[in-house]
Amino acid sequence: MEEISDAGSAYASEYRDQLIGLKVAQVGETDVTSMAFDDVMDCIINSPSTVTILFEVADEPVEPQFTIGTTVQIKVIQDGNEDKTIDAKVGENLRQTLLDNKVELYRGLKKKLGNCGGGGQCTFCAVDFVESEGWEERMEYENTKIKKFPTARLACLNNIQGPATIRVQ
């Protein structure tokens, strides 16, 4: 848990300050360690009104390899265009950085018309990560939305974390 809503029952608990930083491991008799967040929430919601929830200490956060504002290079490979190297700052949004540097993320009429504008819904801004340094593993949401492309990331949902070589489809 990264935070506790003051509207939830956990907030009323005398242990609320101790819950922050813990990971839900078991709901009732169900092991939820490998479940996605929404599935864990469904498990909690569908439990009896009194349920035992076991927690485990989450992994310690990893310090970023590159600090916010550090200039790194993003190499862009795009079929039909010459490779392009972009100087970008750690912390900037990848999608916006690519668009600002005239990288065409939305090729074809379907992508141009169907692009969600950076909301993480259309998946048309997915880029294939050929190489990267300092980037965290992709989010569970990306695993769900673009599971058939295991090395791709949604540019709109990722801030630059380090140098990378990406392929734009």
Specify whether 79 is located in the same domain as 42. Answer: no
pLDDT at 34 over 80: yes
State the Cα–Cα distance between residues 11 and 81, nearest whole angstrom: 54
Q: 125, 104 in Cβ contact below 8 A?
A: no
Specify whether 25 is located in the same domain as 107. Answer: no
What is the tally of structural domains in the chain? 2
pLDDT at residue 93, rounded to an integer: 95
pLDDT at residue 7, rounded to an integer: 67
The verdict on residue 2 lying in a domain is no
The verdict on residue 66 lying in a domain is no
Residue range(s) defining the domain that contains residue 20:
9-57
State the Cα–Cα distance between residues 152 and 138, nearest whole angstrom: 8
Report the chain's mean pLDDT, rounded to a whole number.
Answer: 87
Specify whether 150 is located in the same domain as 86. Answer: yes
Closest CA to 127 of 109, 151, 110: 151
The percentage of the chain sitting over the pLDDT mark of 90, rounded to a whole number, equals 49
Specify whether 82 is located in the same domain as 21. Answer: no
For the chain, give percent helix, strand, coil, nearest 5: 25, 25, 50
Query: What's the residue count for the chain?
Result: 169
Specify whether 53 is located in the same domain as 75. Answer: no
Specify whether 80 is located in the same domain as 51. Answer: no
Confidence of residue 4 (pLDDT cuts 50, 70, 90): low
Mean pLDDT (whole number) for 103-132: 91
Specify whether 80 is located in the same domain as 147. Answer: yes
Confidence of residue 38 (pLDDT cuts 50, 70, 90): confident
pLDDT at residue 60, rounded to an integer: 64
Give whole-number Cα distances, 92 to 57, 72, 82, in Å: 30, 11, 24
Mean pLDDT (whole number) for 116-127: 92
Specify whether 23 is located in the same domain as 105. Answer: no
Q: The CATH number of the domain where 142 resides is what? A: 3.10.20.30
Mean pLDDT (whole number) for 49-65: 77
Mean pLDDT (whole number) for 13-33: 81
The verdict on residue 83 lying in a domain is yes
The verdict on residue 150 lying in a domain is yes
